[in-house]
Amino acid sequence: MHIERYDYKVRLPLGVLAVVLVILAYMPAISGPWLLDDPPNLLDNRAIQQFQFMQFDDLRDVAASGRAGPLGRPISMSSFVWQRDDTGLLDPFRVKAFNLFLHLLIGVIVGYLARQIFSVWGFSEGKAKTAALLVASLWCAAPLHVSTVMYAVQRMSQLSTLGVLAGLTIYVHFRIEWLYRKPRLQHLVQMLLWIGLCFYFGLYSKENTLVLGPLLLVVEACVFGGVIAGSRVRALDSAVRWLLVLYLCIPALLYVLEPTWLTSSYAQRDFDLQDRVSVQLPLLWKYLQWTLLPDLRPLVFLQDGQWALAGNSRVFWFAGTAWLFAIGGALVFRCRPLIFGLSFFLVAHSLESSVFALEVAYEHRNYLPSAGLFIGAVGTLFHFGHQYRRPQAVAVFLGSLIAVSILMLFLRAQIWSSAEDIYQYANDHAPESARAEYLYAAALLDSSGVTDLGADGRLLRQGRMLEARRRLGLLAMEDKNDFAALVLLIRFDSTVIPDLKARDVWESMLIDALSVRSLQAEDYAALSHLVDCLTAGTCVMSDRGRSALEQKLEDMTQRPVFVGGLKAKLAREDSEGTLRTALIYQELAKLEPQNPAVHARLIEIYSDQGERGKALVAMQYLLRSDKSGRFLAPMVQALE
């Protein structure tokens, strides 16, 4: 009775206050910009743009329109169509507001999960509720999560996290029942069906949900310890531990048994397996700091500068030692919350922060792991607070931490109110990040924010442009392979200062870069930008430079369809452009008959040429190769 009254008088108002403060803190960023992956995935997404409520198949079209991940993330993609404005365009405010809603919903689940776990760990009901409230508040207010919640496309990570945490909560809910009585088969099946649903939901939101299985093992090992119906089932406990060990050994086993499977994905990267693994250990320690400490300085969003950790053996050994102490300490003190927090954090990172050929670091990768870490950290503090009889001190400390977190969250949300601010902040605090340097320079080139039309405004615009060019020039000079910077320089010089001869230097550097650099995703995007710019006439290259570029494109073997598309765009400039374009795509259709994009392009070409018969045959191949039906709606439209 007392606890219930306390719930209504203290915890509930505090919870509501935390929610309100988090919402208010996020407010400045909620009208923020679209970023990096948002345009290709969302804004340029035909299916989302053309979605019509009356057309049932448009739901499938939107779901199948995802390009990310092996499964296309259909649930995430489908979640975006409901946030369009009256004109059918995605509204950033609505998208980010929905992300914030999801964030708070996940926060509630984190709190509920924490409360259940704390009660299993023997916390009194009141203490468990207080600790859970603190966990949920800390997790919701973590400034680290701004780059997930306010980055529209990271809805995928949020939904995946929602699926995983819901699955864990269901497991804990059922498992608590079975601590005291034996499970019945129907309840076991019921639990599996519910967890399966969460897994399905999460997996089709983002593939990271695969960690749900190992995380269930972590929860079983660290929370329940194989106890069923009041007694410890040693076989279950051992099996769970061995399965966890086996899971953590999978990368090593893969490396020994099937090394090519692991290493082949690195063929298209400018780093190798060893580089990535050597960075991940210190990086994971950094992630841990970013999560627990509300310090804005390292939270720069663009974390490619973390590659600087690669060659630093001191940092590596320091991080290794720190991890050893943390894990060792947790084991020595037999502190279950700490063991749980660290295990959860590491296992939840096991997909994106281990051996796979993904980019080095992203803040959003901590969205799920941080939930377990906060549960573990708060549990540990309460554990020691109880042991050393300092519970109030712990509560005051955590309360202060939440207050600081909310303040930092608000400050970070201010930064996230404009793209230029984000990139400027990243550039200021991570000078080693080439991406930050480039994006900030690119942002300076966009003077649409300067509203003053007078002399001061003109001066400011010129100053911004000069500064942008200086930064891009430095970037190109220092990092000779920075393809995007070179493309932007060519464009800038072609349009703003066409008489300057420096353009030839950028041209030759660009051609050199094409020869030596293993092109990455952003390089291909820059290349595409260059070709678009050349065909539109806003970029000018010398005849020699252009023919060298065309020759380089001819020599490229990676991503033949993409490169073929660029060649075709350039070919269209010629007198016999249409014919050459058709030839290029006919070759591509032979080379990659299963690629629907090639056939789609051929349909356009043949239709332009008035060859309806050939267009129909291309449509036949498109219908055959388009397994997910992404092109079905455009085909119907084309036939109308």
Partner 1 sequence: MTHTRSIPSADSAATFLSLFAAFLIIVLACWAYFPGFSGPQLLDDRANLAGVDAAALGADAAIEMVFGNKSGPLGRPISMATFVGESLIWGPGPATGKAVNMALHAANTLLVYLFVFMILRDFSCSAPRAAAFAATMLWCWSPLQLSTVLYHVQRMTLLCSFFMLLTMVFAVRWRACFERGTRPRYVWGLATACTALLALFSKENAATLILIVPGLLALYPATAGSERGTTTAVAFSRIFFLLSAVVTSVLVVQWSWVVAGYQVRDYTVMERALSQPRVIFDYAQQFFSPQTWRMGLVQDDFKLSDGIFSPPTTLLSMLFFVGWIALGLFYRASTLGKQLLMCAVIFLLGHAVESTVLALEPYFEHRNYFPSVGLALAAGFVVSACLKLAPAIKVPLLVWLVIYGGSLLIETGAQAMIWSKSELIILHDVNGHPESPRANQAMALLLARSHDLDLALEYSDKAYPNPVGNPSLDGFVYAMALSCVSGQPLIDRDASMLKRFGGLSDRAAREAMQLIISGVYDSRCDRSSVLALVDRLQALAELTPLNSQLVPLLSTVAVLENALERYDGALWYTEKALSMAPNDVQLLLMNLHFCVAVQGGEVCSDTMRKLQLLQQSGVLSREQSETLALYTLGD
- In the bound state with partner 1, the residue whose beta carbon lies nearer, of 57 and 574, is 57
The residues near 362 (Cβ < 8 Å, ≥ 6 apart) are 147, 303, 352
- In the bound state with partner 1, the residue whose beta carbon lies nearer, of 39 and 196, is 196
Q: Which of 497, 476, 579, 573 is nearest to 531 (CA)?
A: 573
The single residue among 1, 54, 256, 455 that binds partner 1, judged by CB under 8 A, is: 54
The structure tokens listed for 319 are: 């991080």
Q: How far is the CB of 192 from partner 1 (least distance, A)?
A: 9
Q: How far is the CB of 615 from partner 1 (least distance, A)?
A: 8
Helices and strands in the chain, H and E counts: 31, 2
The single residue among 39, 40, 122, 196 that binds partner 1, judged by CB under 8 A, is: 196
Give CA torsion, residues 478, 480, 483, 486, to 10 deg: 70
Q: How far is the CB of 42 from partner 1 (least distance, A)?
A: 22
- In the bound state with partner 1, the residue whose beta carbon lies nearer, of 186 and 451, is 186
DSSP state of 70: T
Q: For partner 1, what does the binding mask look like between residues 576 and 615, x meaning CB under 8 A?
A: -----------------------------------xxxxx
User: DSSP string of 235-268?
Assistant: HHHHHHHHHHHHHHHHHHHHHHH-HHHHHGGGGG
The single residue among 31, 49, 190, 578 that binds partner 1, judged by CB under 8 A, is: 190
- In the bound state with partner 1, the residue whose beta carbon lies nearer, of 62 and 141, is 62
Q: Where are the alpha helices (DSSP H) in 388-454?
A: 391-415, 419-429, 434-445
Q: How far is the CB of 68 from partner 1 (least distance, A)?
A: 20
Binders of partner 1 among residues 379 to 418 (CB under 8 A) are none
- In the bound state with partner 1, the residue whose beta carbon lies nearer, of 577 and 629, is 629
Q: Do residues 507 and 542 lie in contact, with contact meaning Cβ atoms separated by under 8 Å?
A: yes
The single residue among 25, 28, 60, 597 that binds partner 1, judged by CB under 8 A, is: 60
Q: How far is the CB of 585 from partner 1 (least distance, A)?
A: 17
User: Distance (Å, rounded) from C-alpha 512 to C-alpha 138?
Assistant: 49
Torsions phi, psi for 5 (to 5 deg): -65, -40
- In the bound state with partner 1, the residue whose beta carbon lies nearer, of 498 and 613, is 613
The residues near 169 (Cβ < 8 Å, ≥ 6 apart) are 109, 112, 113, 116
Q: How far is the CB of 496 from partner 1 (least distance, A)?
A: 48
User: DSSP string of 20-58?
Assistant: HHHHHHHHHHHT----TTHIIIIIT-HHHHT--TT-THH
The residues near 573 (Cβ < 8 Å, ≥ 6 apart) are 535
The single residue among 10, 105, 197, 474 that binds partner 1, judged by CB under 8 A, is: 197
Tell me which residue has tokens 């950028």: 506
Of 189-197, 235-243, 506-514, 516-524, which part binds partner 1 (CB under 8 A)?
Answer: 189-197
Q: Which of 41, 43, 77, 61 is nearest to 637 (CA)?
A: 61
Q: How far is the CB of 56 from partner 1 (least distance, A)?
A: 4
User: Distance (Å, rounded) from C-alpha 62 to C-alpha 82?
Assistant: 11
- In the bound state with partner 1, the residue whose beta carbon lies nearer, of 194 and 524, is 194
Q: Do residues 417 and 96 lie in contact, with contact meaning Cβ atoms separated by under 8 Å?
A: no
The residues near 370 (Cβ < 8 Å, ≥ 6 apart) are 139, 142, 144, 145, 291, 345
Torsions phi, psi for 481 (to 5 deg): -95, 5
- In the bound state with partner 1, the residue whose beta carbon lies nearer, of 17 and 188, is 188
- A 10 A CB-CB count for 535 gives 15
Of 24-32, 55-63, 118-126, 366-374, which part binds partner 1 (CB under 8 A)?
Answer: 55-63
Tell me the number of residues near partner 1 by CB under 8 A.
33
Q: How far is the CB of 597 from partner 1 (least distance, A)?
A: 18
Q: How far is the CB of 617 from partner 1 (least distance, A)?
A: 6
Binders of partner 1 among residues 447 to 486 (CB under 8 A) are none
- In the bound state with partner 1, the residue whose beta carbon lies nearer, of 549 and 633, is 633
Q: For partner 1, what does the binding mask look like between residues 613 and 632, x meaning CB under 8 A?
A: xxxxx-xx--xx----x--x
The single residue among 19, 59, 293, 460 that binds partner 1, judged by CB under 8 A, is: 59
User: Distance (Å, rounded) from C-alpha 495 to C-alpha 342?
Assistant: 54
Binders of partner 1 among residues 128 to 187 (CB under 8 A) are 185-187
- In the bound state with partner 1, the residue whose beta carbon lies nearer, of 230 and 613, is 613
Q: How far is the CB of 110 from partner 1 (least distance, A)?
A: 23
Note the Cα 30 to chain centre separation in Å.
Answer: 18
Q: For partner 1, what does the binding mask look like between residues 199 and 218, x meaning CB under 8 A?
A: -x------------------
The single residue among 12, 24, 189, 497 that binds partner 1, judged by CB under 8 A, is: 189
Q: Residues in the site for partner 1, rule: CB under 8 A?
A: 54-57, 59-60, 185-187, 189-190, 193-194, 196-197, 200, 611-617, 619-620, 623-624, 629, 632-633, 635-636, 639
